[in-house]
Amino acid sequence: MGTILWTLWNFDILAGNAVFSCSTARVNFRLFRLSLLAAAMPLVAAADIKLPDAAAPTEAAAKPTLPPAAITPVTATPPAAAPVVPVPGPSAAVPASSEPPLEIRRAIAVDEKAPVVSPPVSKIVFTRCEVPAPVIAITFDDGPNPDHTPRLLDMLKARNIKATFFMVGRCVVTWPHIVKRIADEGHEVANHSWSHPLLTSLGNTSLDSQLQKTHDAIIKACGKAPLHYRPPYGAIGMSQRKRIHEKLGYSTILWDVDPLDWKTPRNSKKVEDRILANTKSGSIILTHDIHGTTVDAMPATLDALIARGYQFATVSQLIELERETASTVVATAPAPVPLTPEPTIPVVPMSTLPPETVAPAQPAKAVSVDE
Ligand code: NI
């Protein structure tokens, strides 16, 4: 049955480019796939960013000066850092009168007739995805770059691999024709801020501007709106994540595989080795298409990942697979066994308790509501 699931996913990837362009066909196709999944599931046990403005900060130059406490420790705390809202059970239906969050509204708009009994997971931060098959997403940050991105696109095209590009707004407006090529060839376009600043050091107005300007520039260059962003250096505050999600509908995309391709001295073989050593099903791989050594490492890296049986998806496709899997698991889960009533504990009147068993009143502690 694992083979059935995997075959269905492969079919979806292969058919995806054709089917995803037609919304009606897509809904019908996904209905069919979801029904098969539901039947099968129970049996499946920035070193030198080439910015137009030379004064822009570079990732290598900025990294040593970053205040460590302000940086989200991505590699040290993988998925646990993401604030995951528990999936409600089948009985926890969303009241018809209440407006679901933007993220859920978008999914409902796509899957209006899909047999999903629970709302999609309200998760807005991803370091990797939980998927039932060897599917991964490779991402390229800080571009586009006129020297390296076009040849990378050639490599991806030769292998029919779709990737996700987290682009810097100032590069987008300087090389819009590369952005258009990225989108035209089926890759996902995503937001990586306007000038690659440390977002945690910005106020709300600057934060909004960094992302909104880039959002608009990407749409102008290729006609497609980004669905996600990645904070430069992986640094973003909890309240900032929520703000960005509410304003732009973005999910925050981090990573679980970091080949440190920005570090000098750069070495293509090390990039390849680190990626191959750490990639697993559901991984989101961080790389930078502004480095020649990174792009040089790609043919061998991509071929090795393919040889190991990995299928490439865009970040959005990977997230969708996680959500569909979670929904299907919930939809096909057996009815919960009724709990046996807990034994009744006799109530002891307060006046009968000896004085030493009454805990002294504790002063209220300040509760941190953010970060
Ligand atoms: Ni970056």
The verdict on residue 352 lying in a domain is no
- Please state the domain count of the chain: 2
Model confidence band, residue 6 (pLDDT cutoffs 50, 70, 90): low
In a shared domain, residues 16 and 56: no
**21 plus 65 within the same structural domain:** no
Is 288 one of the catalytic residues? yes
Residue with tokens 């991964």: 136
Q: What confidence tens digit (pLDDT) does each residue in 151-194 have?
A: 999 999 999 999 999 999 999 999 999 999 999 999 999 999 99
Catalytic residue among 256, 288, 289, 291: 288
Quick one: 136 and 186 in the same domain?
Answer: yes
Report the pLDDT value the prediction gives residue 122, as an integer from 0 to 100.
78
Q: Which of 55-64, 215-224, 336-345 has the highest mean pLDDT?
A: 215-224
Q: Give residue 250 CA to ligand 1 midpoint distance, Å.
A: 17
Q: Same domain for 187 and 124?
A: yes
CA of 184 to the centre of ligand 1 (A): 23
**pLDDT-derived band at 199, boundaries 50, 70, 90:** very high
Provide the pLDDT for residue 338.
55
* The Cα angle at residue 61 between residues 59 and 63, in degrees rounded to 5: 65
Q: How far apart are CA 165 and CA 182, in angstroms?
A: 8
Domain assignment of residue 21, given as a range = 1-45
Residues 169 and 293 in one domain: yes
Is 187 designated active site?
Answer: no
Percent of the chain with pLDDT over 90: 54
Comparing CA positions, the residue from 285, 259, 284, 262 lying closest to residue 272 is 259
Distance in Å, CA 335 to ligand 1 centroid: 46
Q: Are residues 22 and 108 in the same domain?
A: no
Give me ligand 1 centre to Cα 16, in Å: 29
Torsion on CA atoms 8, 10, 13, 14, rounded to nearest 10: -110
The amino acid at residue 171 is: C
User: Is 22 in the same domain as 120?
Assistant: no
